[in-house]
Amino acid sequence: MVKAHSLLYAIYICLIVSIICGALLYFANLYNQLNLYYNLQEELYIQNQSLVNFALGNKIIPQEIEKDENSGIVGNYKTKSYGLLTLLLAESSVGNDTVTSAHFVGNYVTDKTAIYLTNISKSLSYSGTVTLTGNSELPSDFIDAAYINNSPNKFTNNGKITVSDIKLPEINPDFEKIFEETEGVKTALKDVEKPKDSLYYNSFFNETKEIYINSSLSNIIFKGNFILRSKDSIRIQKNAVLEDVILIAPKITFESGFKGTVQAFATKGIELEEKVTLNYPSVICVYNKNEEESKIIIKKESLISGAVVLFGNSPDDFEKSSMEIAEEGLIFGDIYCTGKLALRSNVYGSVYTNRFFVKTMASTYDNTISDVEINASKRPAYFISIPLFNNQKSAYGILKKVL
Amino acid sequence: MVFLKKYYSVKANSILESVIALTIISICLYFAILIFASVFTPRTSAKFYNTQNKVNELFFLSQLKNDSLQYESGDENLLIEEEIVNDRLKKISVQYKDSTQFKFEKSFYVENNP
């Protein structure tokens, strides 16, 4: 016989149901919290990318972006210059959660110029196998053959040739500004803390750190927002790791085999020894407005993605400034030289110069190019050049995402 | 019959006790159902996350290739609106709505590459 104690059974059932409900509520709460966290992070990340698109679409002009009504995410962005590049800092936040991003941005330039040689001396001649793809502006619309090393001459030109002006296009005034002394905090290398023990790292959201360094940089890692300065010459050894840093010194030398991403600015000269690789976006720039000689020397098998610039001399005094680029290398980007240029490596981009020269054991040939390919169309459509000229800003794009 | 009386007679102590017990159980079940209903909302369903992932996927697709959204119009519940902000920028609003009145909205900016 089963005795009925209905009230007692009812309380048992209630107890069981409340335990089940309690457990359900507890797990649901945990599940919700976790999902909310992941969803919010993902939403913030997407809204941040959307904000970057918004900034690029508005040509990085600071503008209010409306608050996202569905998620309540607020976004804002600002730009600042870093060397020759522009930095876009975007921040999306809701409550205490924030997602930030930093990108190097630039505007697309559809420069189809292969060679711009100013019309101040004799016409251009070629020797060996020379290929030009893109439009050229030269002292005369005819390119003569020169016989330098007894090899057969072959010239291919895919583009229009027009007569050039007596002056190179005006360079972007930002190049000169880099060499001006800044008012930022300058510290010696020994006073700088290493946040992660083995490397020097500074986020682009922080203020730029300017550091005075010794004449040689070896066994050291610098990443991010740094300006490395020296009052004398700097020699960068191949075991140094430099990423997105700016170097400013009278003379800079990169040891053979060095690889990195740098913007190097010098007043007397820059030398790249053999097999140096400077990744995109890198800049090699010499600005010499004094009477002394200045030189950029790029030795064999070096690869530079970005720009190589030599400027500052007056137009009638270009003999004192020279740029020598040895064979078997590649310049992926533009060359601007207000002095004279010895070009033996291929260029996938544009070359602007006052004079070419080829130096052999026996003699020097002016306004001659030998065994090179200059191809302006080998830059892909998404390639953003270093802003050499202050031309009309069209569409903006991302060069690189940085931390 | 005697056998049945001996083994199957269920005695209630009182009718009142049974009624109170039933009331307690029904109140308890009522709260249980309320809790279940509040826990299993549309926002906690797998479908909600599927939809959200789908919309996020649309954002990444439109980032990669501008015309990729036109192939997504096969889903009747998905309403995609494009608003051209300027010649380089467009705003995309995605709305998901189905027969259960479940609604989900999201908007983002993508570059308008010609």
Do A171 and A40 fall within a single domain?
A: no
Q: Quick check: B10 pLDDT over 70? A: no
Q: Using an 8 Å Cβ cutoff, are A251 and A233 in contact?
A: yes
Do A123 and A84 fall within a single domain?
A: no
Give residues with Cβ within 8 angstroms of A275, minimum separation 6: A256, A257, A300, A301, A302
Mean pLDDT, rounded, for A168-191: 78
Answer whether residue A177 is part of any domain. yes
Q: Are the Cβ atoms of A57 and B89 closer than 8 angstroms?
A: yes
Cβ burial, residue A166 (10 Å; 0-12/13-18/19+)? exposed
Looking at CA atoms only, how far is residue B74 from chain A in angstroms? Answer: 24
Answer whether residue A398 is part of any domain. no
Q: Are the Cβ atoms of B63 and A7 closer than 8 angstroms?
A: no
Cα A218 to Cα A60, A241, A242, A287: the distances in Å are: 38, 8, 10, 26
Do A66 and A167 fall within a single domain?
A: no
Start-to-end CA span in chain A (Å): 77
Q: Kindly report the length of chain A.
A: 403
Looking at CA atoms only, how far is residue B7 from chain A in angstroms? Answer: 5
Q: How far apart are CA A138 and CA A119, in angstroms?
A: 7
Cα A312 to Cα A117, A194, A223, A285, A356: the distances in Å are: 17, 37, 30, 11, 18
Give residues with Cβ within 8 angstroms of A320, minimum separation 6: A288, A291, A292, A293, A294, A313, A339
Do A33 and A125 fall within a single domain?
A: no
Do A155 and A46 fall within a single domain?
A: no
Answer whether residue A389 is part of any domain. no
**In Å, how far from its chain's centre is CA A213?**
22
Q: Choose the closest CB to B28 out of A14, A25, A28.
A: A14
Q: Using an 8 Å Cβ cutoff, are A168 and A336 in contact?
A: yes
Q: Using an 8 Å Cβ cutoff, are A339 and A313 in contact?
A: yes
Residues above pLDDT 70, as percent of chain A: 96
Answer whether residue A1 is part of any domain. no
Do A226 and A271 fall within a single domain?
A: yes
Q: Quick check: A278 pLDDT over 90? A: yes
Q: In the prediction, which pLDDT does A1 show?
A: 43
Partners of residue A14 in chain B, C-beta under 8 Å: 24-25, 28
- Average confidence score pLDDT of chain A: 86
Cβ burial, residue A287 (10 Å; 0-12/13-18/19+)? buried
Residue with tokens 């000269």: A269
pLDDT digits (tens, 9 = 90+) for B27-77: 988 988 888 888 777 777 777 777 788 888 888 887 777 666 666 666 777
Q: What is the ipTM of this complex?
A: 0.73
Do A36 and A138 fall within a single domain?
A: no
A309 pLDDT band, cuts 50/70/90, is: very high
What is the number of structural domains in chain A? 2
Among A3-7, A143-147, A228-232, name the most confident range: A228-232
Within 10 Å of residue A252's Cβ, how many Cβ atoms? 26
pLDDT digits (tens, 9 = 90+) for A40-92: 888 899 889 989 988 888 888 887 788 877 778 888 898 888 888 889 999 99
Q: Quick check: A315 pLDDT over 60? A: yes
pLDDT digits (tens, 9 = 90+) for A219-229: 888 888 888 98
Q: Quick check: A376 pLDDT over 50? A: yes
Q: In the prediction, which pLDDT does A2 show?
A: 47
Give residues with Cβ within 8 angstroms of A98, minimum separation 6: A44, A91, A92
Q: Using an 8 Å Cβ cutoff, are A401 and A282 in contact?
A: no
Q: In the prediction, which pLDDT does A59 show?
A: 82
Domain with A287, as residue range(s), is: 113-381
Q: Are the Cβ atoms of B28 and A18 closer than 8 angstroms?
A: yes
Closest CA to B42 of B108, B80, B96: B96
- Number of A:B CB contacts under 8 A? 102
A13: phi then psi, degrees, rounded to nearest 5: -60, -45
Answer whether residue A299 is part of any domain. yes
Do A117 and A234 fall within a single domain?
A: yes
Mean pLDDT, rounded, for A272-301: 89
Answer whether residue A140 is part of any domain. yes
Give the HSE-up count for residue A96: Cα atoms under 13 Å, Cβ half-sphere. Answer: 1
Q: In the prediction, which pLDDT does A31 show?
A: 85
Do A63 and A124 fall within a single domain?
A: no
Cα A167 to Cα A18, A118, A233, A343: the distances in Å are: 88, 6, 32, 20
Q: Quick check: A395 pLDDT over 60? A: yes
Give the global pTM: 0.81
Q: Which spans in A123-281 are helix H?
A: 174-178
Do A134 and A181 fall within a single domain?
A: yes
Do A206 and A187 fall within a single domain?
A: yes
pLDDT digits (tens, 9 = 90+) for A330-345: 999 999 998 889 999 9
Q: In the prediction, which pLDDT does A272 show?
A: 92
Q: How far apart are CA A299 and CA A276, in angstroms?
A: 8
Q: Quick check: A252 pLDDT over 90? A: yes
Looking at CA atoms only, how far is residue B60 from chain A in angstroms? Answer: 9
> Residues in chain A whose beta carbon is closer than 8 A to a beta carbon of chain B?
1-7, 9-11, 13-14, 17-18, 20-21, 24-25, 28, 31-32, 35, 39, 42, 46-47, 49-51, 53-54, 56-59, 68, 70-71, 395-396
Answer whether residue A93 is part of any domain. yes
Both tokens assigned to B50? 């599927």
Pick the last residue of a domain from A88, A107, A126: A107
Answer whether residue A182 is part of any domain. yes
Whether the CB of B50 is below 8 Å from some CB of chain A: the reply is: no
* Amino acid occupying residue A151: S
